Amino acid sequence: MSHSQQDEQQKLEAYLEAKAKEEQENQQQQESESLSEYEACVLRESARVKELIAEAQRKGRELSEDR
């Protein structure tokens, strides 16, 4: 392999390493965004469950007061 071919090979390897690193960073960012979306969903559902529990407790109290 000539010196220029070695230089090109090294440049190509450096480029591929940089692209792989960039792809990995992008994937990690997407995973953290997905996690944030998941967490937001969990918080919304948790709030909904709390509302349903509170409503059931109110109805339970109303029924016990009616007796």
Residue 46 has pLDDT above 80, yes or no: yes
Mean pLDDT of all residues belonging to the chain: 89
pTM metric for this prediction:
0.49
Task: Please compute the mean of the pLDDT values over residues 52-58 and round it to a whole number.
Answer: 95
**Which residue has tokens 């919304």?**
44
Instruction: Give CA–CA dist 5/17, Å, rounded.
Output: 18
Domain boundaries, the chain: 1-33, 35-66
3-state helix, strand, coil in the chain (%, to 5): 95, 0, 5
pLDDT for 37 equals 87
The per-residue pLDDT for range 9-34, each reduced to its tens digit, is: 999 999 999 999 999 998 888 888 88
CA distance 24 to 30: 10
Q: Is the pLDDT reported for residue 50 higher than 70?
A: yes
